[in-house]
Structures are given as structure tokens and as C-alpha cells.
Amino acid sequence: MKPAIPQRLRGGGAVKPSAFTIVELLVASAVLIIILGVIFSITQQTSAAWKSASSKIETFQRARAAFEAITQTLGEATLFNYYDYDSFEKPKRYYRKSDLHFISGKSLVPAQLTHAVFFQTPTGYSDSANYQGLEALLNACGFFITYSVDDSRPDFLASLPNKPKDKYRFRLMEFLQPSQNLAVYADSSGTDWFTVALASSAPPVRQIADNVIALVLIPRTSQGVELTSDYEYDSRSWTPGTAGLQPATSNQLPPLVEVVMVAIDEPSAARWCTGPSAPPLVSDTLFRRPSSLEIDLDTLAGSLTEKRITYRIFRTTVALRNAKWSS
């Protein structure tokens, strides 16, 4: 019995292979384009999120390093205070004296934002080969915030046809005067030892962090009591011969200094820091009285959150190990 021949093979015709129609090709291409578009969109979003997160991490890492530099250097502040007669001709009493100076407050530097602090510490820094290796040499130090354009950008960029825009930012600055230029001994009463240097053509300052919008300093006793009602502390505020007893803050370091620093991330700074005038991120009414510090920090945090600004608050209390406090 012969096997049955399939109906499609009868007549000796060849089998024709099936093929995609042009409609099917168009549909497949459209689906492929949609898939590629979705993948590209996800990749873009992931890349943007990664860049934003990296920028935030990098900004806050620099701020953390700067905060640690402030607290470490501040902890080494010294005054070398001692007791001496009020008069060599007609001595009547002893009083504390010091040739050095510790000062913190709100208006110490032109264009200063929030608070600043200036003092002496034996870091042994010198840019002269004649003084290298002398680790106990005194230096004038200080920290303050300013708002300015990036002055480290190469000059040739300004001549390019498509030159980049000026980059304005809040900048945390460090004042560190070489030991051979120390002027505090020549200025026994005022602040010329740092204001003159800052006003010179080549001030001994450098940026240690950007996007730091607030620096707050509260001198305290060893029991944590505030030593000032308005954040202003000046070890030279009392002049010998003035009527009344010598104030406890005269020629003395505060035993403790509470340091608060607020930094914002780079994406937020790029949105707000667009011109030569500092954006009003920190109200002038804040950080005027130590007693309202917590309220001021809550107010600032609420304002930054409302503006969709990512921020970090760094806070600690520094013990000044060279303080020899006596009331």
C-alpha cells in the first residue's frame, strides 16, 4: 500500500517559505525604537541621579574635612597669658596680660557672612627656608565665610569666544599667616595684625571648602555657660586702667567653643549662586543671640527645605586645651 501524498505536494510544486510583510517589519521597528527609547531614558535618569549623588557626597566630604580642620586648629589656640602689675611706677594690683589675641564675632572681615574667628596657634608654618623645621613657631590663624567668584580659574579662559560663566559660590576661607610675618606683637590693642594682612595685595588666605553658608561660634565656660550674649568675644576688649574689675574674658581663652557649620550641595548652589550678589539663604536676623541658637537653626533648616536645598549641619564643641580660665 503506497503512502498517501500530502495535498500540498501534489502536482510537483515547490514549497514557498513564509516571509515578514512590510507591516510586520514596521511594527517590529516601532517596538524596537520604543524599547531603545525606554532604555535610553532609564540610562539618562540613572546617570543624572549618580552625578547628583556624587556631587552631593563630594561637597559634603569637603565640608566635613574643612569642619575638622577648623575644630582641630581652634583646639590648639593659645594666649600665653600671665599676671603682672598694673603699673611699674605705682603698682596697686595684678591683672591678666597677654601679647596675643583671640577674637570671634560677626563683623571682623569686610563682606564676611555669619561669624569669623582669629587667633594664634603654634603650627610652625613658614614659607621661608630659614624657618623650616621649627614646629613650635606661632602663626596667626582664622576662619570666615565670603561670597565671591572663583579666582583660581586660568586667565586665558576669559579670552575664549565661548568662555565659561563666572562661578560664584559661598566660600569658607582659612587665614594662615607665615610665622616670620606674625604682626600680633606689634599691635598690642587692636586687630591690625589680621585686617592689614587681609587687605594686602597678596593676603595669606585660601579656600578650604565651598558652599558653606553659615559658621557660628559660641564661646562657653567649662560648664557650658555662654560667655557672651551676642556672640562677640574679644580677649582685648578691656583696657588696663579702666574703672572696675577686669572682666573674666579679658586676656583669657574661652575653655570651650561650640562650632556650628551649615553647608549646601553643589546642585543647589548652582541654582541659587548665579550672580555677584550673595543669595539671601541665611537671614541677617539669624545667629544674633546664642540663647536663640536652636530656634535659628530650625528656622534656617525650614527655609532651606522650602527652597528645595539639600543641606548638612555640622556641630561640635571644642575644648581649648591651652585655656587657663579663672573668674
Please write the tens of the pLDDT for every residue from 16-32.
666 668 877 788 888 88
pLDDT at 218 over 80: yes
Rounded to whole angstroms, what are the CA distances from 258 to 107, 171, 217? 19, 21, 6
- Any idea where the domains of the chain sit in the sequence? 44-319
The count of C-alpha atoms lying within 13 angstroms of the C-alpha of 167, restricted to the half-sphere facing its C-beta, is 15
pLDDT at 8 over 90: no
Burial label, 95 (beta-carbon count in 10 A; 0-12, 13-18, 19+): middle
State which H helix or E strand residue 198 sits in. Answer: helix 192-198
Higher pLDDT, 128 or 107: 107
pLDDT at position 55:
59
pLDDT, mean of residues 267-284? 93
Separation of alpha carbons 203 and 169, rounded Å: 19
Give first-to-last CA distance, the chain, whole Å. 126
Instruction: Give me the phi and psi of 78, to 5 degrees please.
Output: -145, 160
pLDDT, mean of residues 206-222? 96
Separation of alpha carbons 220 and 67, rounded Å: 19
Higher pLDDT, 223 or 187: 223
Separation of alpha carbons 292 and 294, rounded Å: 6
pLDDT at position 92:
76
What would the pLDDT profile of 153-162 be if each residue is shown by its tens digit? 666 666 667 7
What would the pLDDT profile of 76-112 be if each residue is shown by its tens digit? 999 998 888 777 777 777 888 899 999 999 999 999 9
pLDDT at 242 over 60: yes
pLDDT at position 5:
53
Higher pLDDT, 316 or 162: 316
Q: What is the largest CA-CA distance in the chain?
A: 147
pLDDT at 132 over 90: no
The mean pLDDT of the chain is 86
What would the pLDDT profile of 20-77 be if each residue is shown by its tens digit? 688 777 888 888 888 888 887 787 777 666 566 565 668 799 999 999 999 999 999 9
Does the pTM surpass 0.85? The reply is no
